Amino acid sequence: MMSLKSFLYSRIAAFGHAFRGWWYVLKTQHNAWIHLVFATAVVLVGLWVELKPFDWAVIVLTIAMVFTAEFINTAIEAVVDLASPVHHPLAKVGKDVGAGAVLVAALAGIVIGLLIIGPPLWARLVPLFTGN
């Protein structure tokens, strides 16, 4: 039976692995930085337009979906490179499908962001430009 101390150390180690993976993606994947910039902008605009809690929940889940897709795509690319160091048509399919998943998530994120943040942002911006 695992002791409490051993259990806690293994959980701390698991978090360490997860954070190393997160850092690897941020260090090596330029698109992850693009996602981070847009996610930060969405959060700042969401604070400015005072989103309601349910809207925040959808925004947070959407941001998580995009980053999760990027992380899984990076993992797929690493495993494909390991399994097939030479170019192979199926390796290309695996990488392309992973990238396609990130694209789907990012496009869905844009639509969700526009649907949730668009109306209150528009309501804040119109008076600035019309003087009302």
Q: Cite the active site residues.
A: 70
- Measured between alpha carbons, how far is 101 from 93 in angstroms, rounded to an integer? 12
Token pair of 9, please?
């150390």
Determine the Cα–Cα distance for residues 103 and 100; give it in Å rounded to an integer.
Answer: 5
For 84, the token pair is 């097939």
Alpha helices (H) along the chain: 4-28, 30-48, 53-83, 89-130
- Alpha-carbon dihedral sign for residues 102, 32, 60, 120: negative
